[in-house]
Amino acid sequence: MRTIFITGASSGLGRACVKVFADKGWRVIATMRNPAAGEELGKLPNVHLKQLDVNNVPQLQALVKEVEDKWQVDVVLNNAGHILVGPLEGFTDEQVSLQVTTNLLGPIRVTKEFLPYFRERKSGLFLNVTSTGALLPEPFMSIYGATKAAIEAWSTSMRSELSKVGIGIKTLIPDLMQTSFVANAQLILHPAYQEWVDKMLAIFSNPDSPLVYDDPAAVATFVYNAAVDGSDQLHYLIGDNAIRTGATIEKEGVENVLNYKEKFYFSA
Ligand SMILES: NC(=O)c1ccc[n+]([C@@H]2O[C@H](COP(=O)([O-])OP(=O)(O)OC[C@H]3O[C@@H](n4cnc5c(N)ncnc54)[C@H](OP(=O)(O)O)[C@@H]3O)[C@@H](O)[C@H]2O)c1
């Protein structure tokens, strides 16, 4: 039975991926900070709930050993993430560090922990969830965009290194999805930028705005396909929204899309 290890499985895309992989007959190690949040998932066949905060290194090390002693993990899905929204001047050093630690060091640490097992077996695949914010970071999401772009760059370098020992790595690039991600955003305020942040937030909170959100269940199917397609493709736009955004950026160029976003968010 093929086995996938998923971080941040308590909600959103991670949760949807647990369901898709379990439905396809995989064993799923669904990790989350608070396993009580996944009780319903734990009732699915071959789904095992495990506690993991990706920033807790001793917990991560003990869990990877426990899991690899019991099963053979084929795919690791680095999905856990959070977002800090606001102007850089408002962020404390601790807030920036936590954003970088969770979104960048988290996937790096999880990957490093599994590597000896994967290398020994000359097999295994890492899937790293980034964001279209890595291709075109949104205003007032600078550190978030930087962490996701860094995962894109890190994964690109790692592909060459890992291919030498029979291991695969891919990045999965979603755009906006209907999850709690935006609602869970950590909003940081600073009076000098408030007018602009308010304009942007008004668009995100307006149900009639033209923003489009992908269904995480549909995006999870893209994740599944990337896991099983057997190709060495490195970057995947996952979801209709992400495919549209990727095509627009490619056609118009980053600066033109950035100028459009500037008008869209701030000209009203
Ligand atoms: N939704 C979007 O619009 C969007 C767009 C582009 C990219 N993404 C990316 O998609 C991925 C999934 O996000 P989502 O949309 O499914 O949002 P979500 O529903 O908020 O899920 C995020 C998950 O990450 C977990 N998490 C946060 N910090 C963690 C930590 N230190 N250790 C372990 N788990 C942690 C959360 O756990 P708790 O339940 O414990 O908080 C939650 O399960 C993220 O990497 C995000 O950056 C999302």
Phi, psi of 69 (to 5 degrees): -70, -30
**φ, ψ at 85 (rounded to 5°):** -120, 130
* Region 116-133 average pLDDT: 98
pLDDT band at 268 (very low <50, low <70, confident <90, very high): confident
Q: Is there a contact between 176 and 205 (Cβ–Cβ < 8 Å)?
A: no
In this prediction, residue 253 carries a pLDDT of 97
> How many A from CA of 150 to the centre of ligand 1?
17
Pairwise CA distance, residues 43 & 45, whole Å: 6
Beta carbons of 44 and 24 less than 8 angstroms apart: no
Q: What is the pLDDT of residues 201-240, one digit of tens each?
A: 999 999 999 999 999 999 999 999 999 999 999 999 999 9
pLDDT digits (tens, 9 = 90+) for 250-262: 999 999 999 999 9
pLDDT (average), residues 152-176: 98
> Which residue's alpha carbon is at the smallest distance from atom 8 of ligand 1?
131
Q: What is the pLDDT of residue 17?
A: 98
Residues with CB under 6 A from ligand 1: 7-8, 10-14, 32-34, 37, 52-55, 79-82, 102, 129, 131, 174, 176-177, 179-182, 184
**pLDDT tens-digit map of 5-29:** 999 999 999 999 999 999 999 999 9
- Fold classification of 3-194+212-242 is Rossmann fold (3.40.50)
What is the average pLDDT score of the chain? 97
Which residues does residue 29 pair with via DSSP β-bridges, in sequence order? Answer: 5, 48
**Predicted local confidence at residue 230, as pLDDT:** 97
Q: Say how far apart CA 230 and CA 241 lie, in whole Å.
A: 24
Please give the Cα distance from 76 to 66 (Å, whole number).
Answer: 15
* Ligand 1 mutation target, pool 6, 10, 203, most atoms within 8 A of CB: 10
For 265, the token pair is: 């968010």
Distance CA(125)–CA(78), nearest Å, equals: 11
Locate the domains of the chain by residue range: 3-194+212-242
The pLDDT-based confidence of 189 (bands split at 50, 70, 90) is very high
